[in-house]
Amino acid sequence: MTDQAIRKIVIVGGGTAGWMSAAGLVKLLGTSCRIVLVESAEIGTVGVGEATLPTLPYFNRSLGIDETDFVRATQATFKLGIEFKDWGLVGNRFFHGFSDYGPLVQGRSPYLHWLRLAREFKDMPPLEEWSMTAVMARKQRFLPSFELVPGAGSAYAYGYHFDAGLYAAYLRDYAVRLGVRRVEGMVTTVEQHPETGFITAIKLRDGQRIEGDLFVDCSGFRGLLIEGVYQAGYDDWSAMLPCNSAQAVPCARGEQVTPYTVSTARPAGWTWRIPLQHRTGNGHVYCDGFTSDAEAQRLLLDNLDGEALAEPRQLRFTAGRRRKSWIKNCVAIGLSGGFLEPLESTSINMIENAVGWLVQYFPDRACRPALADEFNRLVSERYEYVRDFIILHYKITGRSDSEFWRYCADMPIPDTLRHQIELFRETGHVMIYDLQGFREASHLAILMGLGVRPRGYDPMAELLDLRQVQAHFWNLRNAIARAVDGMPDHAQFLREHVAAA
């Protein structure tokens, strides 16, 4: 190790963000650097999100975690996507699945040819018939695979539903086994170098003083270091993402252990249903300017599948992000860096991104500003891309049955999102800014699910013989159906392969 190498990392805060950071860093650094994580049992974790994107399996694999062991330990089930109910219009239903719509057709996206067929044939089945995960979800089937399905030419992936507290505990045990030191305590004082402003140590209420070279702030909404010490500032996006409250409650598991999350639009927000092996997670995300907490709680409890297992937990938040997530020798990861509501299960993915970028641009003790600048650029752009994708769900609405939805229809949106919507509406093309984030199939699922139909069509799609294109789609649809029919039921797969003790 060089004289300038980071010798000690101090992570302030546990929960999912803290232990994902600890696990990722200790896996990379091993014993070459000491890692200390400070957390206090007095500070609860937020944990509203118990669902993930299909990126978490890759994160776990990078740590060498056995999937079966992880699923059992966290009471997890599998997630093929999200079923949306009453979004756009009351009675509307669509599915955002973790799969494409089949292979390219003569170098063009298959949905462009589907648009042509839908124009020519009024009885053309919906595009979801060509989504492997949508068909699997409808039939309650599941089989873990990241490979092309034989004969279907369609790839699919999956995420998880799990107990976030159990996942944090699972990663804690993993990280501690590899050498991370856990310290129980409440931070009361932060010491800084008088000339550089770098954080040099933290002091705990019991008198312990913990020095470090690099400090990772996983302290949640309060941003103990990034905001409390460095006043990073916060970009408030509540004008475009008006939901600012949530209530979460577990209930007894229902009969259906669905391989997907359910999101149902409500008069002032939306509710979620997330099935786990031992219970069902439920929540209501809403704007308290359009409903009362009492009414929000009544709506949540009235729509549970089973008996509530606790009192609803109240949460408050402001959608947005820190203006900088890395300042000097402090890096904010998780809620300390920003928060976007859990509509598309992006919170854990944002932690994955930040941990990955910290590893990629890992500093020495000089913590050169150029590294921080690049990290901040990547994090800021990712927040903006995810922000736009979530706003899309609200902005395109035909609902006028409540003041909340009328506000969403009229609210200002970023120019980047406006361009995406208008390009699709006029030409059928999907513009993707973030090639590492939500891809074409995801945008299609939301745009078309909310009722946007392009006025124009891709002229290149008109060059192929119509009957040949029709035959391709019918063959692909039949191949998907056969593949799905050969899969086990999701609940059966859980019982036979990954049931928790």
CB proximity list for 114: less than 8 A, separation 6 or greater: 101, 124, 127, 130, 473
**Catalytic residue list contains 79:** yes
Q: Exactly one of 79, 324, 328, 395 is catalytic; which is it?
A: 79
281 is in an annotated binding site: no
Are the C-beta atoms of 313 and 338 separated by less than 8 Å?
no
64 is in an annotated binding site: no
Return phi, psi of residue 187, to 5°: -75, 130
Q: How many CA atoms lie within 13 A of 151 on its CB side?
A: 11
Q: Please state, in angstroms and rounded to a whole number, the distance separating the CA atoms of residues 115 and 111.
A: 6
Q: Please state, in angstroms and rounded to a whole number, the distance separating the CA atoms of residues 363 and 214.
A: 9
Q: Which of 237, 235, 292 is nearest to 269 (CA)?
A: 292
Mapping DSSP onto H, E and C, the string for 439-484 reads CHHHHHHHHHHCCCCCCCCCHHHHHCCHHHHHHHHHHHHHHHHHHH
328 is in an annotated binding site: no
14 is in an annotated binding site: yes
Q: Which of 78, 489, 69 is nearest to 277 (CA)?
A: 78
Q: Pairing mode, if any, of strands 199-204 and 320-322?
A: unpaired
185 is in an annotated binding site: no
327 is in an annotated binding site: no
6 is in an annotated binding site: no
Q: Please state, in angstroms and rounded to a whole number, the distance separating the CA atoms of residues 376 and 319.
A: 18
Q: Please state, in angstroms and rounded to a whole number, the distance separating the CA atoms of residues 424 and 435.
A: 17
Q: In what order do the strands lie in the sheet with 326-327?
A: 181-184, 34-39, 8-12, 214-217, 330-332, 326-327
Residue 296 one-letter amino acid: A
- Burial label, 358 (beta-carbon count in 10 A; 0-12, 13-18, 19+): buried
Are the C-beta atoms of 489 and 141 separated by less than 8 Å?
yes
17 is in an annotated binding site: yes
24 is in an annotated binding site: no
DSSP secondary-structure letter at 127? G
Neighbouring C-beta atoms of residue 167, cutoff 10 Å: 26
DSSP secondary-structure letter at 286? E
- Give the annotated binding-site residues for 7-chloro-L-tryptophan: 79
- Give the annotated binding-site residues: 14-17, 79, 187, 335, 344, 348
Q: Annotated active-site positions, please? A: 79
